[in-house]
Amino acid sequence: MSLEKEIHFRVNGNLTSVEVPVTMNALAMIRDRLKLTGTKRGCEEGECGSCTILVDGVSVNACLMFAVDCDGRDLTTIEGIRTAEGLSPLQKLFVEEWAVQCGFCTPGMVMQGTYLLSQNREMSVEDIKRGIEGNLCRCTGYKKVIAAIAGALHATPRRGEEKEDS
Partner 1 sequence: MTVIEKQTLIGKAIPKLDGPKKVTGEARYVQDIELPRMLFAKILRSSRVHARIVRIDTSAARKLPGVHAVITAADTPGVPLGHGKDNPPLKSDKVRSLRDEVAAVAAESEDIAERALSLIEVDYEDLPAVFDPNAALLDDAPVIHESHPDNIPFTYEYSQGDVGQGERDSDVVIEDKFTLHFVTHCCMGVSGAVAQFDADDNLTVYSQTQVPFLYKKDIAPIIDVPPEKIRVIQPSIGGGFGSKLDIYPFEPICILLARATRRPVKLTFTREEEFLASPTRQPVELTLRSGVKKDGTLTFRDVATVHDNGAYTSWGATTPFVIMQTISSLYRVPHCSYRTTVVYTNNPYSGSFRGFGNLQATFAVESHMDKLAEAVAMDPLAFRLQNAQQPGETTPQGMVFRSCGLAECLTTAAERSGFVEKHARYSRYGRGQNGQGGPVKRGVGIASLLHVGGGAKIYRSDGCGTMLKIDDYGHVTVLTGASEIGQGSETVIAQFVAEELGLPISSISVVNDDSELTPWDVGVHASRTTFIAGNSAQRAARKAREKLLAAAATKLELSAEELDLREGNVTRADTGEALLELPRLIRSLHFAKKSEVVMTAEYYEPPSVPQDKEFKGDVSASYAFGTQVVELEVDTETGVIRIVKVTAAHDVGRVINSLGIQGQIEGGVAMGMGYAISEHLLVDEGVIQNPCFRDYKLVTAPEMPEIDMHFIETLDPEGPSGAKGVGEAPAICIAAAVVNAVYNATGTRFDSLPLTPERVLRRLKNHA
Residues that bind ligand FES (CB under 6 A): 41-44, 46-51, 61, 63, 100-106, 137-140
> 64 Cβ partners below 8 Å, 6+ apart?
25, 46
Name the residue nearer to partner 1 (CB basis): 126 or 165.
126
Select the binding partner of residue 38 from partner 1, ligand FES, none (C-beta < 5 to 8 A, by kind): partner 1
Contact of residue 63 among ligand FES, partner 1, none (CB under 5-8 Å per partner type): ligand FES
Rg (CA), the chain: 16
Instruction: Judge residue 45's burial from the number of C-beta atoms within 10 Å of its C-beta, 0-12 exposed, 13-18 middle, 19 or more buried.
Output: exposed
CB of 83 vs partner 1, minimal distance in Å: 11
**Which residue number, 57 or 134, has a Cβ lying nearer to partner 1?**
134
Q: Please say which residue, 95 or 162, places its beta carbon nearer to ligand FES.
A: 95
Strands of 74-76's sheet, edge to edge?
A: 14-21, 4-11, 74-76, 52-55, 58-61
Q: Could you give the CA distance from residue 166 to residue 14 in angstroms, rounded to a whole number?
A: 22
Instruction: Tell me which of partner 1, ligand FES, none is bound by residue 61, counting a contact when its beta carbon lies within the kind-specific cut-off of 5 to 8 angstroms.
Output: ligand FES
The interface partner of residue 53, options being partner 1, ligand FES, none and the CB cut-off 5 to 8 Å by kind, is none
